[in-house]
Structure 1
Amino acid sequence: MTVTARAEAAPELRPTQRSRAALTTGFVVLVGLLAVVCFFSITMGARGVGLSTIWKAFDDYDPGNASETVIRELRVPRTLIGIFAGAALGLSGAILQGVTRNPLADPGIMGINAGAATFIVFGIMVLGTQSVSTYVWFAFAGAGVATVTVYGIASFGREGATPVKLALAGAAVTAILSSITSAIVMTNVSALNELRFWQVGALAGRYFPVFWQTVPFLALGIVLALGTGRALNGLALGEDLALALGQRVRLTRAIMFVTVAILSGAATAACGPIVFIGLVVPHLARMICGPDYRWILSYSLLLTPIVLLLADIVGRLIISPGELQVGVVIGVLGAPAFILLVRYRNLAEL
């Protein structure tokens, strides 16, 4: 069978017009669902607000009105960060799973988020960096170092970087980096109090300055990620066939790893190292739309913010008037999903 025939024999990568129409309809539905979740993210919490209050907060803002201030200064930036950071984590997870052919790949599992967090804490605590737009570069460096380290460790041996070896290497690197982060933070009590919520992943306390300083990097990473769908489809056919079709595999992988570093680094700088969500949601997207990465990425773009914001809402309501940080809620929900993927590998074949 020729290369062209084999490429044409991959019907799963060439959806029919009917399936494309169904997927487009599903995408539109997800846009509407995300809008609904954003509405609840703005209105629900310890202080409930109604539509009239939301309208006044933007049309006739009264700084003396506590409810309107909560909406404009707390919940709107929190929701916007949830949208962009969630999209970044979902896309980075989908890209990692595609480029490594590893169903267990995720920025949290592979230590990328932990690397970004360690470098951020080092920049803040040791070098005195205060601006998000400055220490986000430390996040990119940490994410890149962690990615290279994990992949390098997993590559040792005859079998190369297998899914299990990548997961084990990621767990080991994450443990080391998390210990370093804790050691740095615990030397300063005030910093420990300030960063303890951020360390587990939090949307609380992330205001407009954080959003405006990270959104350019998040937007850049999202645009780059959405452009990798065709290349990921080529890699899905196998490295030999991708090379035969003219794809520059090494360059493609390098670009994708850089994209993941941008996405994970910016998301970690914005709301801390949130784990598991980038692992589970791409599999959910794959279950819905099949193996075409152009659709997997598009669906992950919307599904991940929906899941993240829903988890944030649950965290606000479950111990109201207190609050459970979104990273804790995602961890509680994501750990069983991770175990399920490990136990039933056929659920996550790539």
Structure 2
Amino acid sequence: MHLLCLVVLLVVLALAAVASLRFGHRSTSFADVWVALHGHQETIEQIAAGSRVPRTILGVAVGAALAVSGTTFQAVTRNPLADPGIFGVLSGASLFVVISIVGDWSQAPLPRMIYAMLGAAVAAAFVYTVGSLGRGGATPLKLALAGAATSAAASSLVSALILPNARAMDDFRFWQIGSIGRADWTTMRLGIPLLIVGFLVCWLCATRLNSLAMGDDVATSLGVSVPWTRGIASIGAVILCGVATALAGPIAFVGLIVPHILRLIVGSDHRWLMPLSALAGAALLVLSDVAGRVFSSSEDLSVGIITPLIGAPLFIFIVRRSRMRDTA
């Protein structure tokens, strides 16, 4: 089943990449793409194809990063509803990016990524600390409530910082929706290696996360350091979430729906779940971007608008399914 799912996802991702390169307001041919890749952009179709190449690569990278980040957060918290958006991590990254924009500290790509990772780390630590207070420790409900409160507070602070600053608002308004339409090679050369590091950190923790799924006591009896595993895996997830947010803005639901659906199909072995989630997340984000280009009559719909339209119904289904299972 794992190998079959791997092959299917590779095929779907390849088809999504082809569709991303060819379709939009103006269709292009493979010849246009080939010419654009070699830097000779003379016709409108070749120019369009040339702009879609980095856009497609960025969509693959960001979609994979968000999906693996969500998978890791779900494993660390043992909460199938965990997600960088729901847990306030995306909002934390956004807040720190906004602070850097208002302070004029992040014109270069690398500082913006550093601020986003720092914001994601602060938000994740705050939510987990607050969600761990009281009896029972970090329960899924308390973590979700802490994440919702953190997201609301961060969003309010973002508005308070942006509204009085016209220049910062102009810089922020395109980024806040979540889009891969402004992809450029310079930023991706810095961001993608960081995403690879984050993925490797998460994947190297996969076996220990499998033990963690059986409970802290069982994991400890198997020789797994629970705090160390949670800490290292969370660092990898924060890198993925922070860099993806810096590159494309806050994009919700990818980290929630992708690992949850794949867990229903292939099980909970994170050694397989993480790479499969990376492929599925990449395909979902690229296809969402294609849909935003094809079905919009005037201008591109940002992928940050498309993914909630897909994710919200699935999120409702997940919650209802969890409640039915708990009451059964």
The question of a shared fold, defined as TM-score above 0.5 by the shorter chain, is answered with: yes
The aligned residue for residue 271 of structure 2 is 294
Matched, 1:323 2:300: yes
Aligned residue number for residue 138 of structure 1: 115
| Contact 1:341 1:347 (8 Å CA) reproduced | no
Task: Specify the alignment match of 2:43 in structure 1.
Answer: 65
Partner of 2:60: 83
Q: C-alpha displacement at 1:346, in angstroms?
A: 5.9
Whether the aligned pair in 2 keeps the contact of 1:87 and 1:301 (CA below 8 Å) is: yes
Structure 1 residue 280 displacement after superposition = 0.6
Whole-Å Cα distance in 2 between the matches of residues 338 and 348 of structure 1? 15
- Aligned position for 2:126: 149
Q: Tell me how far 1:77 sits from its aligned partner.
A: 0.9
Measure how far apart 1:210 and its partner are.
Answer: 2.1
Distance 1:148 1:58 in 2: 43
| 1:5 equivalent in structure 2 | none
Q: How is 1:110-129 mapped onto 2 (pairs within 5 angstroms)?
A: 110-129=87-106
Instruction: Report Cα offsets for 1:112-132 as digits up to 9, x if no partner.
Output: 111111101111221432011
Equivalent position SS for 1:200: coil
Q: What's the offset of the Cα at 1:196?
A: 1.4
Question: Contact between 2:64 and 2:279, CA under 8 Å: does it hold in 1?
Answer: yes
How many residues are treated as equivalent by the alignment?
326
- The correspondence of residues 231-242 of structure 1 with structure 2, limited to 5 A, is 231-242=208-219
Q: Which residue of 1 aligns with 2:26?
A: 47
Aligned partner of residue 109 in structure 1, secondary structure: coil
When Rg is computed on C-alpha atoms for both structures, the one with the higher figure is 1
Counterpart code for 1:103: P
Match of 1:34 in 2: 13
5+ residue gaps, structure 1: 1-21
Once the two structures are TM-superposed, the CA of residue 214 in structure 1 deviates from its matched residue by 1.0
The answer (yes or no) to whether the contact 2:90–2:250 under 8 Å persists in 1 is yes
RMSD: 1.6
Alignment of 1:10-21 (within 5 A): none
Q: CA deviation at 1:197?
A: 2.5
- Please say if residues 45 and 313 of structure 1, whose CA atoms lie closer than 8 Å, have aligned partners that are also in contact: yes
One-letter identity of the residue aligned with 2:238: A
Q: Is the 8 A contact 1:90 1:277 kept in 2?
A: yes
Q: Which runs of 5+ in 2 are unaligned?
A: none
Cα 1:191–1:64 shift into 2, 3 Å: farther
Instruction: Check whether the contact 1:105–1:167 (CA below 8 A) recurs between aligned residues.
Output: yes
- CA shift digits 1:36-57 (9 cap, x unpaired): 1001111111121012211222
Q: CA deviation at 1:33?
A: 1.5
Give the 5 Å matches for 1:191-270: 191-270=168-247
Quick one: percent identity of the two aligned structures? 40
How big is each residue's C-alpha offset from its partner over 1:255-288, in whole Å with a ceiling of 9 and x where there is no partner? 0111111010000001011111101100111111
Tell me the amino acid that sits aligned with residue 35 of structure 1.
Answer: A
